């Protein structure tokens, strides 16, 4: 069992660093804006399908990846617009956009899935050895994730970032301070889904194929990673809030590999992840009620 787990560690490290973008994407609207968003289930595969179609059409990997991020950003903005101007709850707006994105992905690729040649990927443009070395992928993804986290920390300390945090902290006070809350909600949702689309674009180029179903279940995985990270790192500062999803993603996927090493059926992982998230969310409520009964 230990040998199997150790052999899975490099693979799950790569996976956890890539899917850390999804955990970060979930955190931004959920914690910074206090508006939960489910659009990532659509923007993640949208980024992957866009980059797959563009690379196959002959566009260079850098431009393809940037366009994938831009379309993911647009999906987030669409969710925010539906929420703000049609008064639809952000959760329902996200579900609507994610559902429509599935049809858009089919239109973009013209088929449910397609192969993406390794020589067309962004990794081959950097070094031909990356796709053949798991540890090189770990080093590259760790550097990219660290760069994104540092950039987000710097952003949230600027006037624009502080204004966005103010909107999430007190939506009623922000207009009195001259802060256009609608603009910052649009920006926050766009940023989050741009990150999710980046994760999808990276996954497609790494795995060598694009599929409209690659986003299935990523929300529950990202939420589990976020909860684990916040339990370990905390969320008392913006730095902790941004580091927590990455740490949680790494730990979560190591727990997954440990479960597989013990002989757990892969088909049971989604159920166990959902049960874990449910238990974690319910624990504070149960604990609070228990204390109230003891006090009474």
pLDDT band at 283 (very low <50, low <70, confident <90, very high): low
Identify which has the larger pLDDT, 145 or 296. Answer: 145
Is 90 exceeded by the pLDDT of residue 292?
A: no
Segment 9-24, tens digit of pLDDT: 888 999 999 999 999 9
Percent of the chain residues topping a pLDDT of 90: 66
86-118: buried (b, 16+ CB within 10 Å) or exposed (e) per residue? eebebeebbbbbbeebbebbeebbeeeebebeb
pLDDT digits (tens, 9 = 90+) for 164-205: 999 998 878 888 878 899 999 999 999 999 999 999 999 999
What pLDDT sits at residue 274? Answer: 76
Mean pLDDT within 94-120: 93
- The predicted pLDDT at position 49 comes to 96
pLDDT tier at 221 (50, 70, 90 boundaries)?
confident
- Statement: the pTM of the whole predicted model exceeds 0.85: yes
pLDDT band at 99 (very low <50, low <70, confident <90, very high): very high
Q: How many other CB atoms sit within 10 Å of the CB of residue 208?
A: 14
- Assess whether pLDDT exceeds 90 at residue 270: no
Report pLDDT for 112.
Answer: 92
Average pLDDT across the chain, whole number: 89
**Per-residue pLDDT tens over the stretch 41-76:** 999 999 999 999 999 999 999 999 999 999 999 999
Residues 122-141: tens digit of each pLDDT: 999 999 899 889 999 999 99
| pLDDT bucket at 287, cuts 50 / 70 / 90 | low
pLDDT at 271: 80
Using left for φ > 0, alpha for ψ between -120 and 50, and beta otherwise, residue 34 falls in left
- Cβ partners under 8 Å of residue 118, min gap 6: 124, 131, 208
SS (H, E, C) the chain: CHHHHHHHHHHHHHHHHHHHHHHHHHHHHHHHCCCCCCCHHHHHHHHHHHHHHHHHHCCCHHHHHHHHHHHHHHHHHHHHHHHHHCCCCHHHHHHHHHHHHHHHHHHHHCCCEEECCHHHCHHHHHCCCHHHCHHHHHHHHHHHHHHHHHHHHHHHCCHHHHHHHHHHHCCCHHHHCCCCHHHHHHHHHHHHHHHHHHHHHHHHHHHCEEECCCCCCHHHHHHHHHHHHHHHHCCCCHHHHHHHHHHHHHHHHHHHHHHHHCCCCHHHHHHHHHHHHHHHHHHHHHHHHHHHHHHC
Residue 233 has pLDDT above 80, yes or no: yes
């Amino acid at each position: 069992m230990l040998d199997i787990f150790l052999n899975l560690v490099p693979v799950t490290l790569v996976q956890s660093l890539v899917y850390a973008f999804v955990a970060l994407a979930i955190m931004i609207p959920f914690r910074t804006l206090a508006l939960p968003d489910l659009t990532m289930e659509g923007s993640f595969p949208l980024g992957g399908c866009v980059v797959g179609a563009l690379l196959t059409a002959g566009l260079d990997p850098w431009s393809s990846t940037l366009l994938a991020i831009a379309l993911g950003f647009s999906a987030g903005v669409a969710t925010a617009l539906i929420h703000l101007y049609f008064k639809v709850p952000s959760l329902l707006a996200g579900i609507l956009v994610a559902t429509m994105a599935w049809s858009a992905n089919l239109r973009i690729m013209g088929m449910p899935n397609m192969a993406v040649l390794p020589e067309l990927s962004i990794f081959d443009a950097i070094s031909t050895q990356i796709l053949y070395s798991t540890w090189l992928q770990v080093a590259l993804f760790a550097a990219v994730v660290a760069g994104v986290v540092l950039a987000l920390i710097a952003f949230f300390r600027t006037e624009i970032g502080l204004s966005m945090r103010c909107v999430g902290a007190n939506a009623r006070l922000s207009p009195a301070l001259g802060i256009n809350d609608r603009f910052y909600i649009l920006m926050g949702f766009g940023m989050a889904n741009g990150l999710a689309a980046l994760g999808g674009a990276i996954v497609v180029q790494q795995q060598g194929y694009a599929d409209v179903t690659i986003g299935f279940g990523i929300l529950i995985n990202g939420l589990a990673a976020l909860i684990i990270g916040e339990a370990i790192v905390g969320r008392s500062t913006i730095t902790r809030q941004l580091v927590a999803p990455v740490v949680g993603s790494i730990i979560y996927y190591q727990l997954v590999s440990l479960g597989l090493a013990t002989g757990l059926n892969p088909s049971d992982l989604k159920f166990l992840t959902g049960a874990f998230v449910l238990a974690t969310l319910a624990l504070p409520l149960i604990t609070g009620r228990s204390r109230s009964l003891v006090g009474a």
